[in-house]
Amino acid sequence: MEPESDSLEASETRRLFGHRLARIAAAWRREIDIDLRTFGLTDATWRPIYYLNFSATAMRQTDLARSLSLEAPSLVRLLDVLEKRGYVVRETDEEDRRSKLVSITDEGRQVAALVSRVADEVTARLTAAISDQELDECGRVLDRVEQAVQAHRELASPAPLPRRDTGAGKEE
C-alpha cells in the first residue's frame, strides 16, 4: 500500500471515530431507555436521577442542566415532574438566592438503584462478546480522548475575572 493511501485511511479512521462514538453512546442510552420503560421511566426522567445519585451534595440546577446537555427551561419542567413523583427536591441556594439546588430523595435513590441495575444489565449484554483486556484497552483510549477534550476546554476557556470587593462586605 502506498504511503498516501495509508494516510487517507488513517484520516478516514480518525474522522469516523467521533461519529461512531456518538452513535454508540446514543444506541447504548436507547437500550437502557427501552429496558427502563417497563418501570415508567424515560430517558428524560431517569438521566437526572442517575446523575444526581452520583453527587455527594445538592447540585445547582444550572450545573445539572449543563451535565445533561439541556436548556434550563426544559430542565425546570422535568424537575417539576420529578419533584411531584418525590424523586428530587429543590431548595434556594443560600450562597446565591437566585439559584436553586437540586438533591435526590430517598425514593429517588431507590429509582437510581433500579437505573444502575438496568444499566449494568445492558452493559453486560452489550459487552458479553468482548474480553476484559479489550475493554481495558478501549477504556484507556477513551480516557485519552476525554483528557484531550478537557485540555482543549481549559485552553479555550477564558480565565475567570477576579471579583472585586465593593467595601460593603459583599463581592460583586
Render pLDDT for 2-55 as a digit per residue (tens, 0 to 9): 556 667 777 888 889 999 999 999 999 999 999 999 999 998 899 999 999 998
* CB-facing half-sphere around the CA of 26: CA atoms within 13 A: 6
**DSSP secondary structure code for residue 8 in this structure:** H
Average confidence (pLDDT) over 145-163: 79
**pLDDT at site 171:** 43
User: What is the CATH number for 32?
Assistant: 1.10.10.10
Q: Which domain holds residue 122?
A: 12-153
Residue 46 burial class via C-beta count within 10 angstroms: exposed 0-12, middle 13-18, buried 19 and up:
buried
Number of structural domains (the chain) is: 1
For the stretch 56-92, pLDDT in tens is: 889 999 999 999 999 988 999 999 999 999 999 999 8
**pLDDT at site 6:** 67
Per the domain annotation, does 134 fall within a domain? yes
**pLDDT at site 170:** 44
